Chains A and B, each alone.
Chain A
Amino acid sequence: MTESAIVSAAITEWIAAGEPTPLLMDRLAEAAIRALREANLRPGELDAVICNTSSIPFDSPAYITSSAQHFAHRLAERIGIREAQCMNVSAACASASIAFAVADSMIKTGQLKKVLIAGIDNSPRGFYLPAQSYLDPDPYAAAIKVIGATNPAYWAMWARRRAYEMGKDVEDLKEVMALVKEIHSQYGALNPYARYKKIFTVDEVLKSPIVCDPLHLYMICATSSGGGAVVVADMETAKKLTDKPVKVAASAVGGPLYGEPMPRLRVFSTYKKLKPFTEWRKPIEKAYKIAGITAEDIDIIECHDTSCFHTINWIDQIMGWEREETDKLIRKRQIRHDGELPVNLSGGTASFGEAVYSQAYIMLHELFRQLRGEAQERQAKKSLKIGVCTAYGAYGAYGCIILEKGW
């Protein structure tokens, strides 16, 4: 099996949701060209262009007007290709991670050599609700219609359950979540592409209105518009294009797991057979196996944090340790750039907001820069060799990518 590596990465500036849609393709094309220039590649040399499509029937500007289903083809037309295969991959917020996994697999099996993976999205504002036309036949619409359970409602139930199983008061978890926000915001302030530059304090977070108890407003990410592009190649090609190829040690994809007790977003029910969050843990275990590593080898984490609870739960699952260890790590502020295990030095979704299917670009871009020592003021102090990126999407869509210094 051929090895693969990231050669370059670019992200757009992330801005408020609701921007007129035609500008999305301009911004994506600009990021794609930036990634190609960093890789010293011309579009005509690409073997494939893979984009992520927002296929969820959100009442979103992107969904209604952008012909999202052929994004790769539109981008390819815009930047100009010769024989590149164009395809779209869709898996809610895990779309970019899974598009990346598809590219990685096709390179590793020798089908492709140089691939551009790109995506941009424009989220709807506020709670994600289904478009009117999808009301009755769609089970998501039905759950909203009958139960009124928005995404934060599910996240809040997960959070409360974790506190309960640990025998802790939920107020204790709130403090940890607020601290996550405080720390992430400090790095958002240092990231030129992040939408939010304001630094929040624990006190401000805890004083913000409650949205879904125990989640306060500032523990939940905003909805944004943004995207990015990465160039991945087989290792031999990658080494010709850059001195510092970032090896893709593993990419794994997960789905809804039978027996997972935690109700995943938008469902009416789950069937309790397994330990809570096994569904989150599975693709991580798979990725560790492919990469031949264990949790102890992880130097840095970039995780999809649509709420501060996500960061906490991702650390639980990535490290596979007692949950208490995660809380201690955060309380001791060891997830900072100068800590034992830096987490979301990009500033995370907490600082960027969520642009549904583009989330992984923030994380991949950050890990790429961090492993190459190019993250400037956000650069981790410790020596980095291996980083992990994890994403979660509605209905149980998961992607886990492990990157490693390849030089």
Chain B
Amino acid sequence: MKKEVPIIEGLFKWPSDKPQLIGSRCPKCGSIQFPKSTVCNNPDCDHSAAVEEYALSPEGTLYSYTIHAYSLREPFQYHKGPYVVGAVELPEGLIVVGRINVSDEKALQMGMKLRVKIDKLYEDDENIYLSYFFEPVIEK
């Protein structure tokens, strides 16, 4: 039985029923970062309080994207082209870059609603590596 492991620790909540990216927020000025940082990045902040872990909104809108036609070479060969890379604008004002999962690239629309999902990036003989993806929100 293969083990499920996150591709990098600390990027997203896992295991969890509610998939969310883990960022950080400065309690003093409200500035938000992803991945989480150890210090606030607002140039006007007085740094009088330590940044706190902050779970980012799971939904956002597509700010921009590209279809990456080629596969990467080793050791990143599991990024097999074509795949979609997008920038997703979250309600917090943060723009997060990530892989976008769509069944049909023609369905990609600027401004479309997307939701974060934890899914398999690739597997090897021992592990299944999980990462965060964004996928379209299907309006009911």
A interface list, Cβ under 8 A from B: 126-127, 129, 132, 135-136, 139, 142-150, 152-154, 156-158, 160-161, 164, 209-215, 258, 261, 263, 267-273
Contact = CB atoms under 8 A, between A and B. Distances in A.
A377 to B, nearest CB: 36
A161 B110 CA distance: 9
Main secondary structure of the interface of A (DSSP, over half): mixed
Interface of B: 7-8, 11, 23, 31-35, 41-43, 63-70, 72-73, 75-76, 79, 83, 85-87, 89, 93-99, 110, 121, 131-132
B87 A263 contact: yes
Contacts of B79: 148
A147 B99 contact: yes
Given A148-B83, A269-B33, A269-B96, A213 B73 contact: no
Contacts of A209: 69
A258 B26 CA distance: 14
Contacts of A144: 72, 76
Contact of A210 (B23, B67, B83): B67
Nearest to A260: B95
B97 A149 contact: yes
A148 B67 contact: no
A277 to B, nearest CB: 13
Given A157-B85, A212-B69, A132 B75 contact: yes
A129 B97 contact: no
A298 to B, nearest CB: 29
**Taking each of B35, B85, B131, which has the highest tally of chain A beta carbons within 10 Å of its own beta carbon?**
B85
Given A135-B75, A267-B97, A269-B94, A147 B85 contact: yes
A332 B114 CA distance: 40
A269 B68 contact: no
